[in-house]
């Protein structure tokens, strides 16, 4: 079966020294390996894709990406440089790679301009940003033009974890195992998506598509609870639909980093096979495990094909 993988990281070789993972109690040998693989295209990445049947990786700048820049001018310059580098990689391997744009969200107008350039001139199929920007979220009015641009260009936004934290949760204190990919990033990014949903962004921009990785950052499994509690609220500007309506329509998900056949089956039961796309989270996860997780489900061949490649072709408008 063909596979298109959507959450696959790269770094710009000229930029990165070995990443400082700070509070993460991660084996330094793994960090060294990840750093090597992030910079690489031919030595590690393509052979692993070939070995496990990955036809296309959609590449995106690794965490924390442009979100780490404090000033808008640096963010604008770095986003453009990252996207130009990625465009060269895609041009060298046009049948194997596609790109998500990095964007300078520090300057919403510049983010729109870079999105338009990346899609219109570089041929990218959407954008990926790493959660919030210093505590600013995408439900804020200053990003409304950005949502309009996503609609007009008919491309999705992938909301990924990994921004430098805006604050510290006391529940995490003394338990570094809980910080990051193991738990807190999913809660933070899922919370960001809920801010967007509850603010009415998808009522104002009904054609906008937000992609969440890691089996939807908990949200598919909370749909009934969200509806139940939302029904108890008295709000000045209520949503046009129940919260569950938007999860599986405007919000779609990928399997990145969550390779449990049971979890995938549950997500499909909640939001439908048309709303789930295959991903790996390379190089932080292994391609072997990602492929095995999809193959190990009891889903129909038709649904597995949608998840493996069909939905990505449709949602990202890929020409393959």
DSSP bridge partners of 129? 159
DSSP 62: P
Q: Which of 69, 107, 281, 303 is catalytic?
A: 281
Q: How far apart are CA 259 and CA 177, in angstroms?
A: 20
Nearest to 158 by CA among 315, 318, 319: 315
Phi, psi of 146 (to 5 degrees): -65, -45
Q: What percent helix, strand, coil does the chain show, rounded to 5?
A: 50, 10, 40
Determine whether 139 is an active site residue: no
Nearest to 313 by CA among 48, 41, 51, 5: 5
Q: How far apart are CA 45 and CA 30, in angstroms?
A: 16
**Known catalytic residues?**
281
């Amino acid at each position: 079966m063909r596979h298109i993988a959507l959450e696959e990281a790269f770094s710009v070789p000229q930029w990165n020294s070995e990443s400082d993972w700070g509070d993460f109690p991660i084996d330094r040998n793994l960090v060294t390996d990840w750093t090597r693989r992030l910079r690489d295209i031919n030595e590690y990445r393509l052979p692993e894709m070939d070995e496990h049947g990955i036809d296309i990786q959609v590449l995106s700048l690794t965490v924390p990406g442009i979100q780490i820049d404090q000033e808008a001018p640096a963010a604008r310059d770095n986003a453009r440089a990252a996207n130009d580098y990625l465009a060269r990689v895609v041009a060298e391997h046009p049948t194997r790679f596609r790109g998500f744009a990095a964007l300078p969200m520090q300057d919403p107008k510049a983010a729109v301009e870079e999105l338009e350039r990346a899609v219109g001139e570089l041929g990218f199929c959407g954008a990926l940003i790493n959660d919030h920007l210093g505590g600013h979220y995408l439900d804020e009015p200053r990003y409304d033009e950005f949502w309009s641009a996503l609609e007009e260009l008919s491309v999705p936004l992938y909301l990924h974890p990994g921004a430098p934290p805006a604050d510290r949760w006391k529940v995490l204190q003394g338990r570094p195992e809980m910080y990051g990919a193991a738990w807190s990033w999913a809660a933070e990014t899922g919370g960001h998506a809920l801010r967007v949903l509850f603010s009415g962004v998808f009522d104002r921009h009904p054609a906008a598509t937000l992609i969440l990785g890691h089996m939807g950052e908990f949200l598919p499994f909370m749909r009934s609870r969200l509806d139940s509690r939302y029904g108890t609220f008295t709000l000045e500007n209520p949503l046009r639909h129940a919260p569950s309506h938007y999860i599986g329509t405007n919000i779609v998900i990928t399997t990145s980093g969550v390779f449990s056949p049971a979890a995938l089956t549950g997500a499909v039961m909640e939001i439908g096979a048309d709303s789930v796309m295959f991903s790996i989270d390379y190089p932080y996860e292994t391609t072997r495990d990602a492929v095995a997780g999809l193959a190990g489900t009891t889903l129909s061949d038709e649904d597995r094909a949608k998840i493996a490649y069909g939905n990505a072709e449709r949602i990202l408008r890929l020409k393959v």
